[in-house]
Structure 1
Amino acid sequence: MQKYLFKNIQVVNEGKIKTLDVLTNGERIERVGNSIDAKGNLIEINGEGKHLFPGVIDDQVHFREPGLTHKATIYTESKAAVAGGVTSFMEMPNTIPNALTVELLEDKYKIAAQTSLANYSFFMGTSNSNADEVLKMNAHKKNVCGVKIFMGASTGNMLVDSHTALDKIFSESEMLIATHCEDERIIKQNYEKIKKGKEILTAADHPLIRNEEACYESSLTAIQFAKKYNSRLHILHISTEKELQLFGNMVPLKDKRITAEVCVHHLHFTADDYEQLGYKIKCNPAIKAPHNKEALWKALLDDRLDVIATDHAPHLLSEKGYSNNFQSAAPSHSGKDGMGLGDYEHAHAGLPLVQHPLLMMLHHYRDGRISLTKIAEKMSHAVADCFEIEQRGYIREGYFADLVMVDMNKPHTVTKENILYKCGWSPLENFTFNASIEKTMVSGQLVYNNGVWNESVKGKRLKFNR
């Protein structure tokens, strides 16, 4: 069992920053304290001037395996995650085939056990016709992160708009129910209205088509079902100011039955960025007008929004409407971009983000938006509490050693050469962060160490206290 001793490092944990030593032994944190004098075969890490965060837990990613492995695999995206300080992830069911049965879901766990460098869990998928299969998950609630419902347009057979199906799942599921909330009827109406008035739709039309009303009405419906049955509801990627009136901060997170997530791109970009980035930041729900971003930040800091995630969703540049020799930000609308896909309808929605969420939040820390302790809370502690994850998300003795060592004074520029996503691009290319991820430890294994990798041990399946 390998031991590691972080010496004299600034530990960011549970609302405090203290200079401490942290000793790991095998998979676990053995001691946290002052001047630890450990014996035996150990590797000492000089943490002077550095910060130690609990590993980021990302509760919403799309790693595309099985079926869409031309975009990404569990191996490639988990490697990118670890390089960014993400030590655990929860992945969505809209792969091919959709994870709509217990057997198909377990197939994904088998792939992750063999290839994932980060700890992992996978959501069970829902459709209008698989409610009975979904309810089988009640017997697996300690081993699966939750049930995912797409209450809006989605991939494959996963749009759930049947109130009969929703009523059955909300009334009988003992699992956490995570929802993508956008109202399909409103989206279609907006599309037809805007399309009539324009010859060509652009990326800037996306937040007008998938607007605030579409998000609000769907979130309201999900909350009404949850309140009717006292279900455990978690609404993903809140993107509008209007939705925030649906959430409260009057009770601690552990006592909430309805929780909410915000994603890094909705905290970082606004609709003003479509002019430069075009379809590279087209995603669902859409990145919207600047006042929404400001409202999201306020709600995050006052605890109406509970956790930060990425909704990492990679696509090839060609699927976004760009040629392989893409140079400029805005895609062609003339069909001369080499792929003929430079139009609104064909540009896929989603962007790759899992390699940089912690650096993105540290950038906003430098700007005075958020504290280091709040970053640790919203990206680690609160995610562990929200999903009741066993012994992760904190730097505590006896917990799994999921740790991230950060150099706050070493700039990192995102380039094509250091992007690890299989899709090979990022909307953050050429952006320079003031901080760098120096080391990432997953369950006591130093997987990432200043660009050097140890892939000999894979991540572990997350367990839940339910």
Structure 2
Amino acid sequence: MKRILIRNANIVNEGKIIRGDVYIKEGLIFSVGGDLSGYEADIDINANGKYLLPGLIDDQVHFREPGLTHKAEIYTESKTAVSGGVTSFMEMPNTIPQSTTHELLEEKYAIAAQKSLANYSFYLGATNDNIETIKSVDVNNVCGVKVFQGSSTGNMLVDNPQSLEAIFRDCPILIATHSENDNIIKENLERYKKEYGENVPVKLHPKIRTEEACYDASKIVVDMARMYGTKLHVLHISTGKEVGLFDNNLPLSEKRITAEACIHHLWFSEEDYATKGNFIKWNPAIKTAEDREIILKGVLEGNIDVIATDHAPHTIEEKEQSYLKAPSGGPLLQHGLVALLEMYHDGKISLEKIVEKTSHNVAILFEIEKRGYLRAGYFADLVLVDLDDPWEVKRENVISKCGWSPFEGQKFRSKITHTIVSGHLAYENGAFNEEKKGERLKFSRKL
């Protein structure tokens, strides 16, 4: 592999920003900080004061392969990830077929080994009746088990209380949940359908998938995890009320129950349905501006441990249907980091906190081997950003296969210039180098 020297960078790592160099050799970080110009390099990058971060690790994406490749593919979306500074991803099981057996899961790994430009892992999907499969999961080669408490794209609902309890009692690995109470949602939906028929407006999405539906489901799994000592990770917190369910007093390495915030719940509010419509229709729903602020506060104060995207592409034609027909989800990988950097420019979050929540903490939480930090001996996953290179999101510069973004028309002040994946310069100033693919994530876990 090519030796890479990055010079004159502002290195954001482990709560500090230092000026210096990074030298990469044989896919690993060889040295960090100081003047390393004496090392021989095949690729010499003068950062000129740009900011160097550990590559982002996104713990929740949907790449739609197999079975839904008209929306997206592992190749196209891993390419999107790399363009957005995401060097590793963990992908969800609600594909066709659903990844609910070891054999189907390994088929996805095989596709990624051939096509993914980023490092990868895939969740095993839980059902009402695959507990024996869950019990035999390889804890050092699979990121986790995904449980859907609420119906969403692909509808893998675990709605049998005995099955849910068995999963929490016997699962040997981290459980990640989509927590919404499906019964509450159905009751709300039926009430609005009686009023509006098939023309329910999208602005009612948060009135259908309500705070009550989210809090009720999150509390159920948090209580169950406490009962059984389960390692639980509640995804895409969308309400301020839920934030209070999570502890901010323990160090992350000691937590058994953790939470994730997503870019869209930190950026948009229910007021944006008027202009964005179905293009910001997600499950759980984007809710009030107050919810958004409390979620951000939870991120900053430690109730919420990681930030992810829930990147979930659908075609433009699918999203342009009526509210009841349009699927939930949208593409965010390309613009997640620059959106966080925009929040940094606005004084809402520090660069150090962005790195902590998108890299360091994901590595700690999932116990990922040698990633998530800029440390000697760790895999060289890095992203270089220019904080002063404005650009505008337009449909023609969207990389995701779906061809659109909820950020269209947004002007960002920062730009990603280089992304290095496992020691390979995969992205440089808009150009991709696809000679080397990403690697399968490994986990250092003990049963």
Matched with 2:409 is 430
Matched with 1:83 is 83
Tell me whether 1:347 sits opposite 2:345 in the alignment: no
Matched with 2:158 is 160
The equivalent position to 2:377 in structure 1, one of 398, 409, 430, is 398
Matched with 2:45 is 45
User: In the alignment, is the contact (CA less than 8 A) between 1:127 and 1:157 conserved in 2?
Assistant: no
User: In the alignment, is the contact (CA less than 8 A) between 1:81 and 1:118 conserved in 2?
Assistant: yes
1-side partners of 2:33 and 2:12: how far apart? 13
User: Cα distance, 1:433 vs. partner?
Assistant: 0.4
Matched with 1:364 is 343
State the Cα deviation string for residues 198-240 of structure 1 (Å, max 9, x = none).
3421110100000000000000111111111000000000000
Matched with 2:444 is 465
User: In the alignment, is the contact (CA less than 8 A) between 1:2 and 1:26 conserved in 2?
Assistant: yes
Matched with 2:201 is 202
2-side partners of 1:229 and 1:108: how far apart? 31
Aligned-partner SS, 2:200: coil
Q: What code does the residue aligned with 1:70 have?
A: H
Q: What code does the residue aligned with 1:429 have?
A: E
State the Cα deviation string for residues 311-357 of structure 1 (Å, max 9, x = none).
00000011112xxxxxxxxxxxxxxxxxxx3x221011001101111
Matched with 1:179 is 177
Tell me whether 1:295 sits opposite 2:274 in the alignment: no
Aligned-partner SS, 1:246: coil
Question: After superposition, where does 1:45-444 map in structure 2 within 5 Å?
Answer: 45-137=45-137, 140-156=138-154, 158-199=156-197, 200-321=199-320, 341=321, 343-444=322-423
State the Cα deviation string for residues 261-292 of structure 1 (Å, max 9, x = none).
00000000000000000000001000001110
Matched with 1:337 is none
User: Cα distance, 1:135 vs. partner?
Assistant: 1.4
Aligned-partner SS, 2:8: strand
User: Cα distance, 1:75 vs. partner?
Assistant: 0.3
1-side partners of 2:270 and 2:421: how far apart? 36
- Indicate the larger mover: 204-213 or 160-169: 160-169
User: Cα distance, 1:40 vs. partner?
Assistant: 3.3
- Indicate the larger mover: 123-132 or 253-262: 123-132
User: Cα distance, 1:20 vs. partner?
Assistant: 1.0
Instruction: Report the CA distance shift for 1:295/1:115 in structure 2 as closer, same or farther (over 3 A).
Output: same
Aligned-partner SS, 2:177: strand
Matched with 2:21 is 21
Aligned-partner SS, 1:417: helix
2-side partners of 1:301 and 1:357: how far apart? 17
Gaps of 5+ in 2: none
Instruction: Report the CA distance shift for 1:48/1:103 in structure 2 as closer, same or farther (over 3 A).
Output: same
Aligned-partner SS, 2:12: strand
Instruction: List 4+ stretches of structure 1 deviating above 6 A.
Output: none
User: In the alignment, is the contact (CA less than 8 A) between 2:153 and 2:327 conserved in 1?
Assistant: no
Matched with 1:9 is 9
Aligned-partner SS, 2:141: coil
Aligned-partner SS, 2:396: coil
User: In the alignment, is the contact (CA less than 8 A) between 1:62 and 1:311 conserved in 2?
Assistant: yes
CA RMSD of aligned residues (A): 1.0
Instruction: Report the CA distance shift for 1:349/1:3 in structure 2 as closer, same or farther (over 3 A).
Output: same
2-side partners of 1:421 and 1:356: how far apart? 11
User: Cα distance, 1:453 vs. partner?
Assistant: 1.4
2-side partners of 1:55 and 1:39: how far apart? 23
Aligned-partner SS, 1:197: helix
Q: What code does the residue aligned with 1:345 have?
A: L
User: In the alignment, is the contact (CA less than 8 A) between 2:3 and 2:43 conserved in 1?
Assistant: yes
Gaps of 5+ in 1: 322-340
- Indicate the larger mover: 62-71 or 45-54: 45-54
1-side partners of 2:103 and 2:67: how far apart? 16
Q: What code does the residue aligned with 2:178 have?
A: H
Q: What code does the residue aligned with 2:126 have?
A: T
Q: Percent identity?
A: 55
Tell me the TM-score normalised to structure 1 length.
0.94
